[in-house]
Amino acid sequence: EKQYLMLPGPTPVPPRVLRALAKPMINHRGPEFKTLLSEITAGLKEVFRTENDIIIYPSAGTGGMEAAVANFISPGEKVLVVSIGNFGDRFAEIARRFGARVEKMDFAWGTAADPAALEERLKEDKDKEIKAVFVTHNETSTGVTNDLKALRKAAGEHPALFIVDSVSGLGAMELETDGWNLDVVVAGSQKSFMIPPGLSFIAVSRRAWEAAEKCTNARYYWDIREARKYAEKGQTPYTPALPQLTALAESLRMIKEEGLPRIIARHRRLRDMVRAGVRALGLELLVKDEIASNAVTAVCAPAGIEADAIRRLLRERYGVIVAGGQNKLKNKIFRIGHLGYVCETDILATLAALEMALIGCGFKANLGQGVRAAQEVALAAT
Ligand code: PMP
């Protein structure tokens, strides 16, 4: 049955990319692979806006996060983890398990990190004990985008590495790896890159490479130095996820055709459509406009109605798949993804189904009101 996959990952895979997934295997130690890897690396560098090395792992995004800890932080070192939700908490937990001394800087779920607080904390660190600052770019659990540029600026001249999880941000919102001086940036395949889950990407600055050399963690599969050594000869240390890479080459061509500025503008427009539509139906949004994500929108369930009941009806009756709330937000919100291969019509269909599902759950929605508000946003933008 037809489904509308309105998730913040995995996101819909375009037909062109699906066809690329079905190509025959090639020798990963041969010349064709070298050509493929070099095309992909060039395309990724454009999306990351960097001249730094980019390493590709066959892994979930979390694998990329683990690589970003295991390679740059030694046991006993102090790190500062800025968390505004589930994925910030995950970075802290990974660092803790790798033996780092973790200091968490928590902000309430649904809010963004305050650059002034980061600046103040790092200024207090006179002995430069903090070796790395971890930041989530786009917090998928709440639909909040941190002001990454301002946070990086707040870290100023402090020598800590600046390590970013942009798994759900990169490619849908602005991020300048070089322009903003980001040392490590982690992204994943199943979000704005429009390919299936299973690849993570990690951009590594010169300073971060130096830290990787000094790092005392045991590493084998995740040893990023090994990956760089092989990348120099157009290979990966271990057998790569070939279908994923062929698909990525195709999706990077699509990204180039549409152009990053237009892609970001489209995501912003889809976000504004969703927010206008949801508001017009009389529902509340979890987060304020100024920090609202281009990739995912968290909607509060109306009083007395479970978010998961709305989701169930959306799925069973209308084939629209939206995400639930995580941890403390479980059953209180649902999250509409508008990330990757998604267009205005998908948003209108989703809102139309949402109106009907709300009525099905006993909420007095006015049919057409959400759709209309979203249409107005779309028309105003063209
Ligand atoms: N960080 C963020 C911000 C994410 O949105 C996700 C995936 N939802 C991850 C990390 C983890 O990615 P994965 O589920 O592929 O491990």
Residue 39: its pLDDT value, please? 98
pTM of the model: 0.98
Do 223 and 33 meet the contact criterion of CB atoms below 8 Å apart?
no
Q: Report angle CA 140, 144, 150 to the nearest 5 degrees.
A: 120
Task: Specify the pLDDT at position 24.
Answer: 96
Which of 67, 285, 79, 77 lies closest to 187, judged by CA?
67
DSSP state of 173: B
Same fold across 15-257 and 259-381: no
Nearest to 280 by CA among 136, 377, 346: 377
Question: Residue ranges per domain, the chain?
Answer: 15-257, 259-381
Taking the centre of ligand 1 as the mean of its atom positions, its distance from the CA of residue 382, in whole angstroms, is 33
ipTM over 0.85: yes
Provide the token pair at 371: 């759709």
In order along its 382 residues, the chain shows pLDDT tens digits of 899 999 999 999 999 999 999 999 999 999 999 999 999 999 999 999 999 999 999 999 999 999 999 999 999 999 999 999 999 999 999 999 999 999 999 999 999 999 999 999 999 999 999 999 999 999 999 999 999 999 999 999 999 999 999 999 999 999 999 999 999 999 999 999 999 999 999 999 999 999 999 999 999 999 999 999 999 999 999 999 999 999 999 999 999 999 999 999 999 999 999 999 999 999 999 999 999 999 999 999 999 999 999 999 999 999 999 999 999 999 999 999 999 999 999 999 999 999 999 999 999 999 999 999 999 999 999 7
**What residues have CB less than 8 Å from 246, skipping those under 6 apart?**
20, 21, 23, 36
- Residue 215's Cβ-count burial label (10 Å; 0-12, 13-18, 19+) is buried
Please check if 335 is assigned to a binding site.
yes
8 Å CB contact between 20 and 347 = no
CA-closest candidate to residue 335, choices 360, 300, 306, 309: 300
Number of alpha helices (DSSP H) and beta strands (DSSP E) in the chain: 13, 13
Considering only CA atoms, which of 130, 190, 186 is closest in space to residue 10?
Answer: 190
Residue type, position 378, single letter: A
Amino acid at 273: M
Nearest atom (ligand 1) to Cα of 197: 15
Provide the pLDDT for residue 259: 98
Tell how far the Cα of 217 is from the centroid of ligand 1, in angstroms.
23
Supply φ then ψ for residue 287, to 5 degrees: -125, 160
User: Which fold would CATH assign to domain 15-257?
Assistant: Aspartate Aminotransferase; domain 2 (3.40.640)
Burial of 239 (0-12, 13-18, 19+ CB in 10 A): exposed
* Domain 259-381 fold: Aspartate Aminotransferase, domain 1 (3.90.1150)
pLDDT at site 335: 98
Atom number in ligand 1 closest to CA 62: 16
What pLDDT score was predicted for residue 345? 98
Separation of CA 189 and ligand 1 centre (Å): 10
Ligand 1 pocket at CB < 6 A: 9, 60-62, 87, 136, 138, 140, 165, 167-168, 188, 197
In angstroms, the CA 8 to CA 337 distance is: 4
